[in-house]
């Protein structure tokens, strides 16, 4: 269903490859965790599978299609077969739960009769019955992620890609979300979930693909989350002599996106 053959991805202006010679094959109906520390290439793997990015080398096959040779015009049709969920939910704040889920169908031209049937059905499936009229900010984080999942699966995709879906959630809520994903998987959807949350991985005991610095270091069935072989979560911070120490207020500084202030162009 998803197949990476010797895939390498080097981002522009980066010397180190985000993925280096990765081989992964996910069969139809599988549930696979992609684990690894930040910067190990999990998100890049998912972005390649969604054709948000193109591989620098190798072949990416998803739902029977070669994404490297796919023309841009065919991308929208391809993405209708794929659902995607993210750490930051990505809901539309001005729209109700119903409208958020319906939006995904409206923009691909589904008839409104189908929308009226599918939206409540899907909301019930993710456990949000009766909350369709609420706005996202009136929901808890776990509920917001359920809305995002409902939106991702409402068009009944063959594949569901989840990038750190529990990254913003409490451990208990995280487990509920992964159980929901498991339920969706048992109904026939192939699920690929990137995470560095050991508890959820250990609770599920499914296939685990472990990445480190862009290389697959482990691919095991019914596995647990093993600590990374590199001791640090973010090794660059220790190695870089110019790295800023944990100063008070440093988080706020992070809000300044250099690209918006033209720093990128200046380089």
Partner 1 sequence: MKPGFIAGEVWSGLRRNLSMALSVILVTMVSMFLLGLGLLAQRQADTMKGYWYDRIQVSIYLCTDNSLQPNCQGQAATEAQEQSIESQLRAMPEVKEVFQETEAEAFERFKEQFRNSPITGNVQLGDIPQSFRVQLSDPTKYAVVTSQFERAPGVASVQDQEKVLKRFFQIINWITAFSVFLATLMVICATLLMATTIRQAAFIRRREIGIMRLVGASNWTIRMPFIIEMLVVAALGVGLAVGMLWLGLRLIFNLGFNQVILNKALIGANDVWSLTPWLFGGVIVIAVLTSVVTLRRYLRV
Q: Which two tokens stand for residue 200?
A: 């959820």
In the complex, least distance from residue 158 CB atom to partner 1, rounded to whole angstroms: 13
Q: Which two tokens stand for residue 161?
A: 């890609």
Taking the least distance from each CB to partner 1, the nearer of 107 and 227 is 107
Q: Which two tokens stand for residue 195?
A: 């995470």
In the complex, least distance from residue 107 CB atom to partner 1, rounded to whole angstroms: 4
In the complex, least distance from residue 84 CB atom to partner 1, rounded to whole angstroms: 5
Taking the least distance from each CB to partner 1, the nearer of 62 and 228 is 62
Binding site for partner 1 (CB under 8 A): 50, 72-73, 75-82, 84, 90, 92-94, 103-104, 106-109, 112, 151, 155
Q: Which two tokens stand for residue 189?
A: 């959807």
In the complex, least distance from residue 174 CB atom to partner 1, rounded to whole angstroms: 22
Taking the least distance from each CB to partner 1, the nearer of 39 and 157 is 157
In the complex, least distance from residue 147 CB atom to partner 1, rounded to whole angstroms: 12
Taking the least distance from each CB to partner 1, the nearer of 77 and 183 is 77
Taking the least distance from each CB to partner 1, the nearer of 111 and 266 is 111
In the complex, least distance from residue 19 CB atom to partner 1, rounded to whole angstroms: 21
Taking the least distance from each CB to partner 1, the nearer of 73 and 267 is 73
User: What values do phi and psi take at 36, rounded to 5?
Assistant: 150, 160
Residue 18 CB neighbour total at 10 angstroms: 24
């Amino acid at each position: 269903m998803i197949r990476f053959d010797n895939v390498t991805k080097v981002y522009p202006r980066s010397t180190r490859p985000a993925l280096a010679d990765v081989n992964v094959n996910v069969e139809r109906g599988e549930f696979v965790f992609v684990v690894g520390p930040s910067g190990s290439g999990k998100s890049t793997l998912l972005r390649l599978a969604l054709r948000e990015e193109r591989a620098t080398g190798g072949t990416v096959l998803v739902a029977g299609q070669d994404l490297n040779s796919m023309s841009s015009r065919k991308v929208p049709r391809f993405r209708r077969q794929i659902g995607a969920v993210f750490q930051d939910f990505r809901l539309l704040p001005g729209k109700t739960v119903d409208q958020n889920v319906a939006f995904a169908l409206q923009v691909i031209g589904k008839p409104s009769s189908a929308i009226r049937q599918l939206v409540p059905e899907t909301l019930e499936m993710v456990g949000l019955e009766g909350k369709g009229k609420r706005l996202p900010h009136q929901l808890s984080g776990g509920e917001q992620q359920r809305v995002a999942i409902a939106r991702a699966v409402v068009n009944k995709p063959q594949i569901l890609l989840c990038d750190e879906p529990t990254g913003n959630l409490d451990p208990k809520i995280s487990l509920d979300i992964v159980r929901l994903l498991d339920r969706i998987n048992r109904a026939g959807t192939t699920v690929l979930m990137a995470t560095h949350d050991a508890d959820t991985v250990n609770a599920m005991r499914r296939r685990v693909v472990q990445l480190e610095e862009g290389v697959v270091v482990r691919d095991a069935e019914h596995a647990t989350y093993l600590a990374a072989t590199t001791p640090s979560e973010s090794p660059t911070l220790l190695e870089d002599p110019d790295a800023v120490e944990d100063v008070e207020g440093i988080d706020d500084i992070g809000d300044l996106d250099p690209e918006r202030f033209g720093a990128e162009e200046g380089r």
